Structure 1
Amino acid sequence: MTLYDIGKGLFKGYFKLFNRIEVEGLENVPVSKGVLLCSNHINNLDPPLVGVACPRQVHFMAKAELFDIPVLGAAVRNVGAFPVKRGMGDKQALRSGMEILSNEGVLGLFPEGTRSKTGKLGKGLSGAGFFAVRPGVLVVPCAITGSYKPFQTVKITFGNPMDLSLLKEEKGAAKKATEVIMNEIQELLDKEAQKDLK
């Protein structure tokens, strides 16, 4: 059993104790190939929620500052996360992400780059599109809805996988791919909002 499995088990227990988790669209997560999971970001618990819900190991970009914290930094690295320096083009982080996808792993990203303070979906950064247009990569949009407050329901919905590699030859490919991804996430959020109204 890996450290990732242990961490996943602990968070699964935490969510079972404090939240009612609902997962929809799990069949949309490819069982193989490089997969880019792109989700909205509403809470610090989003990464472990995605990790618990996804049947495959998810590698996340995490802000570089976390890796400088004793014990926590080592734990974050040992569960497959890697550092990214925010506010600048971090070439090493891009290389690390590409390596995960090239090895047919799962890369988890929050394209907004930071948590939404309003709960509304913000603008996506082009870094997501950079990965999305690579050949052999399937993009799976995700929507997190509900509340992490104790004993309330939080839900994650996995959308249909997309192949955006055809955009690679277009001008501004990364930006266009990010826009497609954010539109898909927004559609998932809108569908969930409609369900709540019924």
Structure 2
Amino acid sequence: MKNDCYLSRFSKLFIVPLCHVIKPLFRSFFKVKAYGLENIPEDSYLVAPNHRSYLDPPVLNAVFPKHLTFIAKEELFRAPILGILLPHMSTIPIKRGVGDLQTLKLALELLHAGCRLCVFPEGTRAKPGEFLKPKLGIGLLAVKSKKPVLPVYIDGTDKVLPRGKKIPSIGHTIRVFIGKPKRYDFLEDNPKGYKVASNMIMEEIKKLSKQSTEPPLL
């Protein structure tokens, strides 16, 4: 599974082959517009988006040309429906608040194997229109992996499916702004360096939130 970017057998046989059909339908249904697609590298990279809705992961997968491997809190794998779906959606469970080094080690292995990893710097969903303080995890992966980091700002998912809501509200436009890739391996490989990297990445996301609207590339 590691060499296949954490894809299950079911995913490889059914979900991945159908992506070329599912992605455009999803983008059309949820009115998803993407900006900055030209910034996506060919090789492996880290995607660092803001997080305000459970809709964020599928929106990102609908926008990026190749499937992303996500890191999600372990509790979601015990949810009635998500617990069944997540193992087939290239998602790695992580224990929050305990420094899950095993999962971070796996994440590094996947990046070095050529996978594209998505980590939400805030660690959990923020309230509509807000940002949370970033966790050390994204900084650690950015420094240790030496891979480029793509800052991403997602706008509108907190209107379609905000915290506390189970059924999406159709009609709002969702915009995804993809920034230019940056590396952070020049920073110290220690907790201080990870914190600096995490804060720098979060600032890049906030800059994208102020970006003016441009003609969509998708």
Verify same fold: TM over 0.5.
Answer: yes
Aligned-residue offset at 1:157: 0.7
C-alpha spacing 1:70/1:160, structure 2 compared with 1 (3 Å)? same
- Specify the alignment match of 1:16 in structure 2: 28
Post-superposition CA distance 1:39-77 (Å, at most 9, x none): 001111001111111112100012212323567434312
C-alpha spacing 1:6/1:48, structure 2 compared with 1 (3 Å)? farther
Q: 5 Å matches for 1:22-33?
A: 22-32=33-43
C-alpha spacing 1:112/1:3, structure 2 compared with 1 (3 Å)? farther
Amino acid at match of 1:155: R
Aligned-residue offset at 1:6: 5.8
- Specify the alignment match of 2:103 in structure 1: 93
Which structure 1 segments of 5+ residues have no match?
none
Q: CA RMSD, aligned part only?
A: 2.2
1:105 equivalent to 2:115? Answer yes
Which structure 2 segments of 5+ residues have no match?
1-11, 161-168
Whether the 8 Å CA contact 2:111–2:145 is kept in 1: the answer is no
Secondary structure, aligned partner of 1:166: coil
Q: TM-score, normalised by structure 2?
A: 0.79
Whether the 8 Å CA contact 1:3–1:78 is kept in 2: the answer is no
- Specify the alignment match of 1:190 in structure 2: 210
Post-superposition CA distance 1:113-165 (Å, at most 9, x none): 11111321111001100001125401000000124231220010110000111
**Higher percent of residues as strand:** 1
Q: Which moved more, 1:129-138 or 1:19-28?
A: 129-138
- Specify the alignment match of 1:60 in structure 2: 70
Whether the 8 Å CA contact 1:3–1:79 is kept in 2: the answer is no
1:127 equivalent to 2:137? Answer yes
C-alpha spacing 1:5/1:143, structure 2 compared with 1 (3 Å)? same
Correspondence for 2:86 among 72, 76, 83: 76
Whether the 8 Å CA contact 2:26–2:62 is kept in 1: the answer is no
Post-superposition CA distance 1:75-127 (Å, at most 9, x none): 31222111101222111211121111111211101111111113211110011
1:173 equivalent to 2:207? Answer no
Post-superposition CA distance 1:161-181 (Å, at most 9, x none): 001111135771100000110
1:45 equivalent to 2:55? Answer yes
- Specify the alignment match of 1:143 in structure 2: 153
Q: TM-score, normalised by structure 1?
A: 0.87
Whether the 8 Å CA contact 2:121–2:134 is kept in 1: the answer is yes
| Percent pairwise identity | 32
